Amino acid sequence: MKNIIVGTAGHIDHGKTALVRALTGIETDRLKEEKERGISIDLGFAHLECGELRLGFVDVPGHERFIKNMLAGAAGIDIVMFVIAPTSR
């Protein structure tokens, strides 16, 4: 089985955590403060198996005050999923 680590990247409130939850069914925001504030503060982890492919997701915070946590999560990433919230005009 091939393993790939996917990291999320993007600014706060652009849907990174919601997208990981929609893909995997796993809530990566687990801290009480994250749930109360509606933002990722610490690294979150999820996984998804697709046949012979196992994807591990690292959901990193997107706020500048948590940059150390973001960088810590980026160390083992194979590919990045850059999430930008679309807007309609």
Q: Which of 11, 13, 35, 47 is catalytic?
A: 13
Q: Which of 17, 24, 28, 59 is catalytic?
A: 17
The answer to whether the beta carbons of residues 70 and 60 sit under 8 Å apart is: yes
Q: Which of 11, 24, 28, 63 is catalytic?
A: 63
Q: Is 16 a catalytic residue?
A: yes
Q: Is 63 a catalytic residue?
A: yes
Q: Which of 2, 8, 11, 16 is catalytic?
A: 16
* Torsion over CA: 30, 73, 18, 89 (sign): positive
List, in order, residues 6 or more apart from 71 with CB less than 8 Å away: none
Q: Write out the catalytic residue numbers.
A: 13, 16-17, 63
